[in-house]
Amino acid sequence: MRELLLEIGVEEVPARFLTATAANLKKAAMEQLGAFNIGFTEVKSYVTPRRLSVIAEGLPEVQADVIKEVFGPPKKIAFDANGAPTKAAIGFAKSVGISPEKLVIKEKNSGQYVAAIIEEKGRPVREVLPEALKKIVLSLGFPKSMRWGYGSFRFVRPVRWMLALFDFEIVSFELEDIRSSNATRGHRFLSPGTFQVREAHAYKKLLETSFVIVDQDKRRRIIESDLEKLSASVDGVYLGDEDLLETVTNLVEYPVGVLCEFSKEYLELPEELLITVMKDHQKYFAIKDSSGRLLNHYVVIGNTLKENSFVVRAGAERVIRARFEDARFYYRDDMKRTLASRVEDLKKVTFFEGLGTLYDKSARLKELASGIAGSLFPEKKAFAERAGVLAKADLITGVVREFPELQGVMAKYYAAHDGEPEEVSEALLEQYLPRHMGDVLPATDTGAALALADRLDNIGAFFSLGLTPTGSEDPYALRRQAIGIYSILLNGGYPVTVKYLLEKALEALGHKADLKLESEILAFLESRLPQIFEARGFEPDAIESVLPYSAHIPMKGLTERLQALARFKRNEMFASFLAAIKRIRNIVPPRELPAPPIIDEMLFREEKEKELHGSFRAVEGKVRSLLSEERFDDALSALAAITAPVNAFFDAVLVMDKDERVRDNRLALLASIWALALGIADFSKLSEA
């Protein structure tokens, strides 16, 4: 068995593209090898800023043989009455390269056709690899690609070389003016020269001698090890961040950790500001002590030798000092004015074309947040109103203009400095929580009210302009904001419906009683719920059964319904009840019956329909009472008591009686039972398993 190596040498690829590219490269290699009938035992892909590589192990010398079945004309056309092949059969046989005598008859689409069984012998793998490798390269897609020179070939960055080996043999193919060889290049600065790779299995070790660790997992392990050791050397722990680790791993070919230091005077600045400068702007790792306080040390991952650490350290400390000086200037300058004094300035900043200014946005948040708080926790209404007024004031501060990711964070610091109540300053931060599914949620009621108001206003505003998510496109993150609304409501257990909140938001936007817009947004919000509830472990069919109630029932009640259904599905009576209730659903007519259906006891003729009516009356009041008390488990048990009478009814009574009045009366009884069941869930959506 043999080994295949392909390396595409490129100009530096943005770090954010590399992780996905590694997965795409592996997938492309597996697909193309399969398409060319080339077996393999394992395929691995490797990426660095300057090279995209794939190694396939366990390749054979020869392609697998392929047996193909090719259909020709129908039998009645291919052979005459005497069974001799016609011109159609002879022509078909010639087209596939066999004699007419080798044609066989096969069934296809309930008819008989002539067919040719063709066995294609596998070719030597080395002969087909050039085309396979070329297709691997051409099949790679990127979020952004480019052309260079005079060619038409597009790639993520200009391709400078291609290395292709089948064990020790060069696989020669060409893309425009670039021909593959066994040559590669080392680290751009530490080993910039070109050298040859004689055998595929020596590739990784050979690159390491030229200061390139091509395996991204190994680079990450080296980085993590350096981070741990260097942080421990100052009695600290580095701030672990998966995104930052991935980014830095994709930025270097030969990582080395360097411990750096900054002046303690900068620790007077908010920690979040310092960490943002280090992490988001410089890709440095901040360090905290055992008590969680930020230290004046950080780790830089260089792309060089350890002997050059002093150069990395000097450069990093010079850069961070300048960045911290900028941050301190903006912070001190911002502190000269209160947040409240900036609110008027929001009139000069457009929120979005057609949606007014940030001042208008703040006015809506003031109205909506105070309205939500007034309904749910009246004692916090004044806090919510104040938070709504100040919500967007930090967007025009120097720090936030320079570091937009700190919106809300800086508002909290500035509000606290201004002497605003703690509940208000916390809410200014919490208005942006959760930032994504599973993130931290608002801890204060005022923060929850403001976060709900902000998201509801955004969704209502953009939908009112027709700017709705389509397919994979969601430029205004409305799906994420919808999930945020539900997450906050579920976390707080607030006794309020989504419909009520949306009505308040649309009223603040000037779209009161716009039922079409309201309906469109409610449908959009509902479409996000399955993702949330599935993440909480609920089964899809149960979720589907309660979705129609999502706009009209508080999230707490919806969750409790799902929990009760999950327990009910484990009950031994569930299967028989579900079968019985679905029998009712299958016969209840789609046309409208009187609501509530009018049942005339005098029209009952059969004993079993009288018994069913009596059983229904016995459980109806009990079920409705239990539902009003939100005792869903007990309501389901009470409703299940009707199972036997329903089955007895269907076994003994013909529902569709010739007498229209009798028929409609029986349908009205069944519709009443179904309507009672719908008070809990739409059982037609549930499955037994």
Strands 183-185 and 194-196: antiparallel
Give whole-number Cα distances, 573 to 404, 560, 579, 621, in Å. 57, 20, 10, 21
Is the per-residue pLDDT at 97 higher than 90?
no
- pLDDT tens, position by position, 341-371: 999 999 999 999 999 999 999 999 999 999 9
Give whole-number Cα distances, 436 to 106, 151, 666, in Å. 57, 42, 51
Q: What's the whole-number average pLDDT of the chain?
A: 93
Residue 457, CA atoms < 13 Å, CB-side half-sphere: 27
What is the pLDDT, as a whole number, of residue 602?
A: 85
What is the pLDDT, as a whole number, of residue 313?
A: 97
d(CA 330, CA 404) in angstroms, rounded, equals 13
435, containing H or E segment: none
User: Mean pLDDT: which of 46-55, 512-521, 579-588 is highest?
Assistant: 46-55
Please give the average per-residue pLDDT across 212-218, as a whole number: 98
Phi–psi pair at 108, nearest 5 degrees: -155, 125
Is the per-residue pLDDT at 595 higher than 80?
no
Helix, strand, coil share of the chain (percent; to 5): 55, 15, 30
Please give the average per-residue pLDDT across 267-290, as a whole number: 96
Name which of 246-260, 295-309, 329-343, 595-609 the model is least confident about: 595-609
What is the pLDDT, as a whole number, of residue 689?
A: 60
- pLDDT tens, position by position, 560-584: 999 999 999 999 999 999 999 999 9
Is the per-residue pLDDT at 600 higher than 90?
no
What is the pLDDT, as a whole number, of residue 589?
A: 66
User: How is residue 18 written in tokens?
Assistant: 């590399």
d(CA 148, CA 33) in angstroms, rounded, equals 29
d(CA 96, CA 99) in angstroms, rounded, equals 9
Collect all residues with Cβ–Cβ distance below 8 Å to 322 and sequence separation of at least 6: none
Please give the average per-residue pLDDT across 498-525, as a whole number: 94
User: pLDDT band at residue 596, thresholds of 50, 70 and 90?
Assistant: low
Q: Which amino acid is at 468?
A: T
Please give the average per-residue pLDDT across 170-176, as a whole number: 94
Nearest to residue 463, comparing CAs of 532, 516, 513?
516
Q: Residue 261's beta-bridge partner residues?
A: 297
User: Nearest 5°: CA angle at 486, between 481 and 490?
Assistant: 145
Strands 66-74 and 51-59: unpaired
Is the per-residue pLDDT at 433 higher than 80?
yes
d(CA 304, CA 471) in angstroms, rounded, equals 44
What 354-358 contacts at long range (C-beta under 8 Å, 24+ apart), as own/partner pairs, is: 354/465, 355/461, 355/465, 358/392, 358/395, 358/396
The CATH label, of 3.50.50.60, 3.30.420.40, 1.10.275.10, 1.10.730.10, for the domain at 569-685 is: 1.10.730.10
d(CA 625, CA 619) in angstroms, rounded, equals 10
Which spans in 307-466 are helix H? 309-334, 339-342, 358-376, 381-390, 398-402, 409-418, 422-430, 445-464
Is the per-residue pLDDT at 442 higher than 50?
yes
Is the per-residue pLDDT at 41 higher than 70?
yes
What is the pLDDT, as a whole number, of residue 593?
A: 45
In this predicted model, which residue has the larger pLDDT, 84 or 527? 527
User: How is residue 26 written in tokens?
Assistant: 């592996």
Phi–psi pair at 146, nearest 5 degrees: -145, 160
- pLDDT tens, position by position, 605-640: 888 889 999 999 999 999 999 999 999 999 999 999
Share of the chain above pLDDT 90, in %: 81
Share of the chain above pLDDT 70, in %: 99
Nearest to residue 646, comparing CAs of 621, 625, 676, 679?
676
d(CA 680, CA 581) in angstroms, rounded, equals 13
What is the pLDDT, as a whole number, of residue 510?
A: 92
What is the pLDDT, as a whole number, of residue 594?
A: 45
In this predicted model, which residue has the larger pLDDT, 105 or 180? 180
